Structure 1
Amino acid sequence: MAKPLRIEFAGALYHVTARGNARQDIFLDDEDRQYFLELLHRACERNFWLCHAYCLMSNHYHLLIETEAPTLSKGMKHINGGYTQAFNRRYGRVGHVFQGRFKAILVERASAGVRPYI
């Protein structure tokens, strides 16, 4: 069965989440969190995203991303793929870090005056 297509368009606002495989921790220390935020920052620059908010929990994360072009999947591949490679290299592991695909919920805009954080 094929994966369902994601709705992507310029100016979209998404609540993006991903959690650790089998609900395991994906951030073990501040260095892990810092590296994830660096990947997020680079994805925002490369894909012309605005990150309005983020929350890093021990076993999952939440992002509020606005896209200026339909690049959500491309950017998330950079973030989750890059983080997985670095995490596995750092801890001498192999395999999945994240459980399945990231979730992206399209958010309806309430007001136009929201300022980006990253």
Structure 2
Amino acid sequence: MASQDHTDIAPQIGYDDFMKVDIRVGTIVSAEPFPEARKPAFRLVIDFGPQIGTRKSSAQITVRHSLDELVGRQVMAVVNFPPRQIGPMRSEVLTLGFPDAEGNVVLASVTQDVPNGGRLF
């Protein structure tokens, strides 16, 4: 399987395929440096509400985001990928973002507060 260039449009899928990816909103409750990561990253703890709870994530967002702006921010993440070991940490969700013009990650977030755990549709 060839790796996909992030600028290419992915193959067309049906709505049922889209619904297999569980994207939820959560609030960052903790953000710390993650010096053990291979690429510069922060270690996040995100609260997805009572049904899902808190989950850990390694996020390569150090260029466009600072630690002091992250706590309290609502972000989107895929919550149904298998956990992934990143250095000494087990990343439980994939925090989502988009590349800026230089390829640095900008977090995907909501523009108004919504309940934690809400699913993207």
Q: TM-score range by the shorter chain?
A: under 0.3
Query: Could you state the TM-score of these two structures normalised by the residue count of structure 1?
Result: 0.26
Higher strand share: 2
Structure with more relative contact order (C-alpha pairs < 8 Å, separation 6 or more): 1
